[in-house]
């Protein structure tokens, strides 16, 4: 059974007039963050064709950098790629001088919440999805897998972007996640939200599944509403809450398959990873972060042949939170208001959230090295690692992914491997095809592109020295909040 019937939820929504966002109710008592900075905007009139001249083009499949290329875009596609000055170019084409720069596909965030807010959790800010979408684009993220959205608007928002009605990366959306009754994130919402509204917000946080039938019904509902993937929670946050069992997850996977959908799993432990892998999920959207994976499990985990989205950064971010120590990166300074960045230092005297999660945060911190070592061991056994940030408090939409990429390099992936994880490998997963129509700089592919200064294969931080972001063939005008530069990339 689902804890609240869809009808009851619909009535509640009408009662609160909360069609757009459950969290809107909080405006009654809390200051709104406003519409936020623009960061990116499309040109007033875009040329029908765009020539990128003299770029070094990164072949993300091989890691090879091909110098002195011209790339012609028409409409939302890459039309031609060839040696400089050899393409036939329409007279009216716009031109971008790309000397000294590397052209690569736009980045994919494989754990990119859109209905999220990066400010400290104790501020209880209201998510501003449109600002989140622009922040992704500012940082070169042109595709997002949005795994869990409590607003009720995930599919409409995704479709508005595809229809050209809303500026944002291309979104693949799961809608609300499926979890155990009282499981994650229901438990988290109950602790974090003000008491008078927490029961309502908790009811919106996900489908609470207490039987295989309830799992099937939830998948049917989401499939009818247009979900691209189904997300299950097979983890305990905090450590004493229930999680979905194998019978439920199997029923969910079967029903999803019958509806032509794949299931992605939020996991924590090695047992969670095994349970969901055996049930047939298509990807793990976290690494194993609560323990060292027992040696005997590695081969079986690799045998499922499914990728793992590492999400190292979100756990590092949790670990930083209680200390308030947080040196902003270049992209964070450029894209986030200074007062939001400094707010992490202003830890309240008594925070219900930090008090309730102290033990869990300490557990995550204790297992930091295990989480990294788990990834190294799974990679060595043949598991594909993908890049996702888990955008939320402390993990900024876009800059958070760049932090994640740096951490993937730390665990032993070469810069070229990291870039392939955040482009072609993710595109292959999302499109369920070896030849996806995005994630590569080849004729016919979608013109979602990133032009950066320098060679990111030599220095991954070059990815944050962004010269141009092009989405669907449209060259965006980028406006940083603070002047670029500073010590930290
Ligand atoms: Zn998440």
- CB atoms closer than 10 angstroms to residue 377: 18
Residues 6+ positions from 154 with CB-CB distance below 8 Å: 114, 115, 146, 171, 173, 174, 175
Check residues 354 and 478 and name the one with the higher pLDDT.
478
**C-alpha of residue 147 to centroid of ligand 1, in Å:** 6
**C-alpha of residue 226 to centroid of ligand 1, in Å:** 20
State how many domains the chain has. 1
* Confidence (pLDDT) at 73: 98
Residue with tokens 């040109």: 43
**C-alpha of residue 266 to centroid of ligand 1, in Å:** 8
**C-alpha of residue 396 to centroid of ligand 1, in Å:** 13
**C-alpha of residue 261 to centroid of ligand 1, in Å:** 19
**C-alpha of residue 77 to centroid of ligand 1, in Å:** 31
Cα angle: 434, vertex 435, 437; to 5 degrees: 135
pLDDT, tens only, 228-265: 999 999 999 988 999 999 999 999 999 999 999 999 99
- CB atoms closer than 10 angstroms to residue 244: 28
Exposed, middle or buried, 350 (CB in 10 Å: 0-12/13-18/19+)? exposed
* Confidence at 215, pLDDT banded by 50, 70, 90: very high
Q: What residue numbers bound the domain in which 184 lies?
A: 106-438
**C-alpha of residue 20 to centroid of ligand 1, in Å:** 20
**C-alpha of residue 418 to centroid of ligand 1, in Å:** 20
Mean pLDDT of 8-23: 36
Please check whether residue 40 lies inside any domain of the structure: no
* Confidence (pLDDT) at 348: 84
* Confidence (pLDDT) at 357: 82
* Confidence at 483, pLDDT banded by 50, 70, 90: low
* Confidence (pLDDT) at 36: 55
**E strands, 222-346, where?**
229-234, 262-267, 283-284, 308-309
Please check whether residue 36 lies inside any domain of the structure: no
* Confidence (pLDDT) at 35: 53
pLDDT, tens only, 42-74: 999 989 999 999 999 999 999 999 999 999 999
Mean pLDDT of 389-396: 96
**C-alpha of residue 233 to centroid of ligand 1, in Å:** 10
Please check whether residue 463 lies inside any domain of the structure: no
Residue 56 and residue 421: Cα distance in Å, rounded? 20
Mean pLDDT across the chain, nearest whole number?
90
**C-alpha of residue 91 to centroid of ligand 1, in Å:** 46
Output the CA–CA distances (angstroms, integers) from residue 58 to 103, 171, 196, 340, 427, in the order listed: 6, 24, 53, 35, 16
**C-alpha of residue 94 to centroid of ligand 1, in Å:** 39
DSSP SS3 for 168:
coil
* Confidence (pLDDT) at 262: 98
pLDDT, tens only, 151-210: 889 999 999 999 999 999 999 999 999 999 999 999 888 887 878 888 888 888 999 999
* Confidence (pLDDT) at 349: 78
Residue with tokens 């691209």: 228
pLDDT over 70, % of the chain:
91
**C-alpha of residue 470 to centroid of ligand 1, in Å:** 26
**C-alpha of residue 67 to centroid of ligand 1, in Å:** 38
pLDDT over 90, % of the chain:
78
| Backbone dihedral angles phi then psi of residue 277, each to the nearest 5 degrees | -65, -45
* Confidence (pLDDT) at 21: 35
Please determine, for residue 22, whether its predicted confidence score (pLDDT) is greater than 60.
no
Please determine, for residue 473, whether its predicted confidence score (pLDDT) is greater than 80.
yes
Please check whether residue 21 lies inside any domain of the structure: no
**C-alpha of residue 111 to centroid of ligand 1, in Å:** 6
* Confidence at 484, pLDDT banded by 50, 70, 90: low
Please determine, for residue 482, whether its predicted confidence score (pLDDT) is greater than 80.
no
DSSP SS3 for 68:
strand
Q: How does DSSP assign 387-454, residue by residue?
A: -----BTTB-TTHHHHHHHHHHHHTT--HHHHHHHTTHHHHHHHHTSSS-SSSS-STTSB--EEEEES
* Confidence at 430, pLDDT banded by 50, 70, 90: very high
Q: Which residues pair with 58 in a beta bridge?
A: 65
Mean pLDDT of 312-335: 91
Residue 387 and residue 405: Cα distance in Å, rounded? 7
Please check whether residue 11 lies inside any domain of the structure: no
Lowest mean pLDDT among 76-80, 239-243, 294-298, 426-430: 239-243
The candidate with the shortest Cα–Cα distance to 118, out of 410, 414, 399, is 399
Which CATH number fits the domain that encloses residue 395? 3.20.20.140
**C-alpha of residue 138 to centroid of ligand 1, in Å:** 21
* Confidence (pLDDT) at 137: 98
Residue 485 and residue 489: Cα distance in Å, rounded? 8
Please check whether residue 460 lies inside any domain of the structure: no
Lowest mean pLDDT among 3-7, 316-320, 397-401, 470-474: 3-7
Please check whether residue 352 lies inside any domain of the structure: yes
Exposed, middle or buried, 444 (CB in 10 Å: 0-12/13-18/19+)? exposed
Please check whether residue 362 lies inside any domain of the structure: yes
pLDDT, tens only, 69-127: 999 999 999 999 999 999 999 999 999 999 999 999 999 999 999 999 999 988 878 89
Residue 161 and residue 166: Cα distance in Å, rounded? 5
Please determine, for residue 457, whether its predicted confidence score (pLDDT) is greater than 80.
yes
**In 17-63, where does DSSP find H-type helix?**
none
**C-alpha of residue 46 to centroid of ligand 1, in Å:** 35
């Amino acid at each position: 059974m689902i804890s609240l019937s869809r009808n009851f939820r619909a009535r509640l929504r009408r009662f609160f007039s909360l069609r757009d966002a459950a969290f809107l109710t909080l405006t009654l008592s809390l200051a709104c963050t406003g519409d936020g900075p623009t960061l990116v905007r499309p040109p007033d009139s875009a040329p029908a064709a765009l020539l990128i001249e003299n770029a070094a083009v990164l072949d993300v499949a091989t890691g090879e950098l091909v110098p002195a290329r011209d790339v012609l875009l028409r409409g939302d596609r890459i039309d031609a790629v060839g040696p400089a000055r050899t393409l036939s170019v329409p007279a009216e084409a716009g031109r971008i001088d790309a000397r000294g720069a590397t052209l690569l596909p736009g980045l994919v965030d494989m754990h990119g919440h859109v209905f999220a807010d990066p400010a400290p959790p104790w501020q209880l800010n209201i998510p501003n999805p449109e600002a989140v979408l622009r922040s992704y684009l500012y940082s070169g993220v042109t595709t997002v897998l949005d795994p869990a959205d409590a607003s009720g608007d995930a599919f409409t928002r995704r479709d508005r972007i595809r229809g050209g009605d809303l500026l944002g990366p291309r979104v693949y959306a799961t809608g609300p996640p499926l979890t155990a009754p009282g499981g994650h994130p229901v438990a988290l919402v109950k602790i974090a939200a003000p008491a008078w509204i927490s029961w309502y917000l908790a009811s919106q946080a996900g489908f609470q599944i207490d039987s295989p039938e309830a799992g099937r019904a939830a998948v049917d509902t989401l499939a009818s509403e247009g979900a691209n993937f189904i997300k299950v929670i097979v983890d305990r946050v905090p450590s004493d809450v229930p999680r979905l069992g194998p019978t439920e997850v199997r029923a969910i996977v079967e029903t999803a398959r019958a509806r032509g959908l794949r299931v992605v799993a939020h996991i924590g432990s090695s047992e969670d990873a095994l349970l969901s892998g055996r049930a047939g999920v298509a990807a793990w959207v976290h690494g194993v972060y609560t323990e060292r994976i027992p040696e005997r499990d590695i081969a079986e985990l690799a045998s499922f042949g499914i990728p793992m989205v590492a999400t190292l950064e979100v756990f590092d971010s949790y670990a930083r939170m209680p200390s308030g120590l947080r040196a902003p990166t270049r992209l964070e300074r450029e894209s986030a208001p200074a007062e939001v960045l400094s707010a992490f230092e202003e830890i309240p005297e008594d925070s219900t959230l930090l008090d309730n999660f102290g033990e869990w945060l300490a557990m995550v911190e204790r297992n930091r090295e295990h989480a990294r070592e788990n990834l190294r061991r799974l990679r060595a056994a043949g598991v594909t690692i993908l890049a996702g940030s888990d955008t939320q408090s402390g993990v900024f939409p876009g800059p958070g992914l760049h932090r994640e990429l740096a951490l993937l390099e730390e665990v032993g992936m070469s810069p070229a491997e990291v870039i392939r994880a955040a482009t072609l490998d993710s595109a292959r997963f999302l499109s369920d095809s070896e030849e996806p129509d995005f994630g590569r700089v080849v004729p016919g592919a979608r013109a979602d592109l990133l032009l950066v200064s320098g060679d990111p294969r030599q220095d991954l931080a070059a990815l944050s020295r962004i010269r141009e972001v092009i989405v669907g063939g449209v060259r965006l005008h980028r406006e940083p909040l603070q002047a670029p530069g500073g010590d930290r990339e």
